[in-house]
Amino acid sequence: MAPTEEFEIVCPVCKARKRIALPENILNHKNFKFVKIQVSQRICNHTFIVIFDTAKRKIVGSQQIDITLKVSSEEFKSLKKSFSLRRLIYFFGIYGAMCLFHAKIFNYNVKIFSNRFPDEYIDLISDYFNEKIKINNETVISKLDDFYFIKPYILTNLFKDTLILDADKNILNTPWENALDFESELIKNALSIEDQEKRINIISDEIELLFAELNLIINSLKKNSGITKENLYEYIQENFSRSIINQYGISLLEEYLRRNNLKNLLS
Ligand SMILES: [Zn+2]
C-alpha cells in the first residue's frame, strides 16, 4: 500500500463527514496548486470532488457533481474493446470524463500521468473523441513522462494550458476556471440512454449544436461592431435567447473566443 494521510472530508450536499485516507503522492504534487480529488461514495451517496491545496496541505473546497455512476472492475472487463463513455468514467471518474470533454471542445491538450496506464489506451481515447464523437481539432492526448517532474518549473510553464489527469481519478491541473455545467448535462443525458450507438449520437449531436451556435454567434459578432465584454450578455439574451450559450451562461462563449484568438471581436 502506498503511504496515505487522513483528512476529514465533508459532503457539500448532506454535510456527512468522514476521515478519508488520501494518497501521499497526490498530496505531494507541489507542482500543481490545486488538485481535484474525486471521493465519490466513500462517504455518502453523493458524487463530489474536493479541492486540495498542495501548498497549504488542506482541503480548500468541494463541489457537487450531479451525476452518479460507478463502473465496477467486473463490468469494465465486459465492456467492449473500443472506448466508451462508461470506460472513460471507469478510468477517470465522472468529473475526469467531464474534464476530458471540456478539453476536447475547447482545444486544451491532455496529459495523463501514470506509469501503469497502457499506451494503447491513449490512442483509443483519441479515437473515441476524434472518430466517434467527431470533435475535429488539434487537441493532443498523450502521456506525461516522469521526466518532467525533475524540473518543476518546466512542468508548470510547459503545461499551464494542459489538462493533466492521472489514472486514479485525480485531476492534477485544470487550465480553466469555468464550471462544467454543459459537460455535466451532456454526460447525464448520455447515460440515460442504454443503446451505445444512440448514446454516441446524442453526445456528438449536442456538441455539434454547440459548435454551430458558437459559429453563428461569432459571425454575428463579426458583423456587429460595438459589442463589448460588458454588453455581451445582453446581446446574447436579445438575439440568441434559446441557444445553449444562453442556457449555460456566456462563459462558454467567452472561453471559446479566448481559446480561438477571437477576443478582438469584442470592442
Ligand atoms: Zn452527501
Q: Would you list the DSSP string of the chain?
A: ---EEEEEEE-TTT--EEEEEEEHHHHT-TTSSEEEEE-TTSSSS-EEEEEEETTTTEEEEEEEES------HHHHHHS-SS--HHHHHHHHHHHHHHHHHHHHHTT-EEEEE-SSS-HHHHHHHHHIIIIIS---S---EEEPPGGGGGSHHHHHHHTTTEEEEETTSEEEE----S--HHHHHHHHHHHT---HHHHHHHHHHHHHHHHHHHHHHHHHHHH-TT--TTTHHHHHHHH-TTSHHHHH-THHHHHHHHHTT-GGG--
Q: Are residues 249 and 122 in the same domain?
A: no
Q: Are residues 209 and 168 in the same domain?
A: no
Q: How far is the CA of 2 from the centre of ligand 1 (A)?
A: 27
What's residue 1's pLDDT? 63
Q: Are residues 22 and 119 in the same domain?
A: yes
> What pLDDT, in 10s, does the model give residues 209-221?
999 999 999 999 9
Q: Are residues 132 and 218 in the same domain?
A: no
Q: How far is the CA of 70 from the centre of ligand 1 (A)?
A: 16
What's residue 120's pLDDT? 83
What does the alpha-carbon distance between residue 233 and residue 252 come to, in Å, rounded to a whole number? 12
Q: How far is the CA of 14 from the centre of ligand 1 (A)?
A: 4
In this structure, is residue 193 part of a structural domain? Answer: no
What's residue 69's pLDDT? 76
Q: Are residues 215 and 163 in the same domain?
A: no
Give how far Cα 239 sits from Cα of 48, 108, 209, 230, Å.
Answer: 35, 29, 17, 16
Q: Are residues 29 and 65 in the same domain?
A: yes
Q: Quote the domain boundaries for residue 260.
A: 205-265
Q: How far is the CA of 48 from the centre of ligand 1 (A)?
A: 8
Query: Phi and psi dihedrals of 8, rounded to 5?
Result: -80, 125
Contact of 9 with 20, CB cutoff 8 Å: yes
What's residue 82's pLDDT? 66
Q: How far is the CA of 61 from the centre of ligand 1 (A)?
A: 15
Q: How far is the CA of 66 from the centre of ligand 1 (A)?
A: 11
Q: How far is the CA of 30 from the centre of ligand 1 (A)?
A: 29
What's residue 149's pLDDT? 66
Q: How far is the CA of 114 from the centre of ligand 1 (A)?
A: 30
- Tell me which residue has cell 439574451: 237
Query: Phi and psi dihedrals of 74, rounded to 5?
Result: -65, -45
> What pLDDT, in 10s, does the model give residues 37-93?
988 678 898 889 999 998 899 999 999 888 877 777 777 776 656 678 988 998 899
| Overall number of domains in the chain | 2
Low-confidence ranges of the chain (pLDDT < 70): 1, 40, 78-82, 148-152
